[in-house]
Structure 1
Amino acid sequence: MSSQWKHTPLSAIPVEHLNPLLERQFVHGEQSMLARLLLRKGCIVPEHSHHNEQISYILEGALRFTLNGNEVVTVNAGETLVIPSNVKHSAEALVDTIDLDVFAPPRADWIGGTDAYLRK
């Protein structure tokens, strides 16, 4: 197992333009991933689930999450939401929002570009 560290300025991480309302940057190690998402007002992240635990931290703006199809929570700037593995969830940007997400383990679908649900 490698113990190689990485140092990367945020400005050097490519910005992926997934759709007209969603952009992201991410970096990952062997056990975790950090993603910076830019969601414009009205952006919808469709319902999905994954085996990765997710911690969302809103830097600016607000996201309204729907969990398990009917539980709704609004996460504002300075607040966090922990989403356990395999919980169905969706999100809507109530205003232009900058979100930091941490995933463990890293999202293989994002790394491999097979995350079509975000590219619509």
Structure 2
Amino acid sequence: MTDVRKLSWDDMAVEELTPLIGRRLIYTAQQMLAHVYLKQGALVPAHDHVNEQITYILSGALRFWIGEHADSPGGEYVDVRAGEVLVIPSMVRHRAEALEDTLDVDIFNPPRQDWIDKSDNYLRTGEPMSNGGQG
């Protein structure tokens, strides 16, 4: 028998990371799919990870600071709005802010182990993660 599964986002509890950020996860050994719910003003601190990331905005908008701009955000940023996708390669530092209430779909390869085992303290505390980590 194969391990084919049919899942419904509505049947999954939302994991509250902060009062402004929640998520739902689906993952296999090779990939992860996440719904991330960000209320306006939510901040995702500067971080990087070995995982390739694809972020698809279903509703709302996120502002991203990339590379050296992630640690000292200023005038160089990328706004990603509903219907748009941002591809973030492995080990590219990034930071995000929700410009409005946002639902984004994140795809990771390989899966984010820190999200699975809930060791993603950078996201839960709002403290930037040091370079080269798994956060």
Deviations 1:47-86 (Å, cap 9, x if unpaired)?
0000000000000010000010225100010000000000
For 2:36 and 2:25, how far apart are their aligned partners in 1? Answer: 9
On the 8 A contact 1:13/1:27 being kept in 2, the answer is: no
Larger strand proportion, structure 1 or 2? 1
For 1:17 and 1:29, how far apart are their aligned partners in 2? Answer: 22
Q: How far has the Cα of 1:14 moved from its partner? A: 2.1
Aligned length: 119
The TM-score normalised by the length of structure 1 is 0.94
Who is 2:14 aligned against?
Answer: 15
Q: How far has the Cα of 1:30 moved from its partner? A: 1.1
What secondary structure sits across from 1:69 in the alignment? helix
For 1:83 and 1:68, how far apart are their aligned partners in 2? Answer: 10
Who is 1:55 aligned against?
Answer: 54
On the 8 A contact 1:33/1:106 being kept in 2, the answer is: yes
For 2:108 and 2:12, how far apart are their aligned partners in 1? Answer: 17
Measured on the aligned residues, the alpha-carbon RMSD in Å equals 1.3
Unaligned runs of 5+ in 1: none
Q: Letter of the 2:104 partner, please give it.
A: D
Please identify runs of 4+ aligned residues in structure 1 that moved more than 4 A: none
Who is 1:35 aligned against?
Answer: 34
Who is 2:102 aligned against?
Answer: 97
> Kindly, what percent of the aligned residue pairs are identical?
51
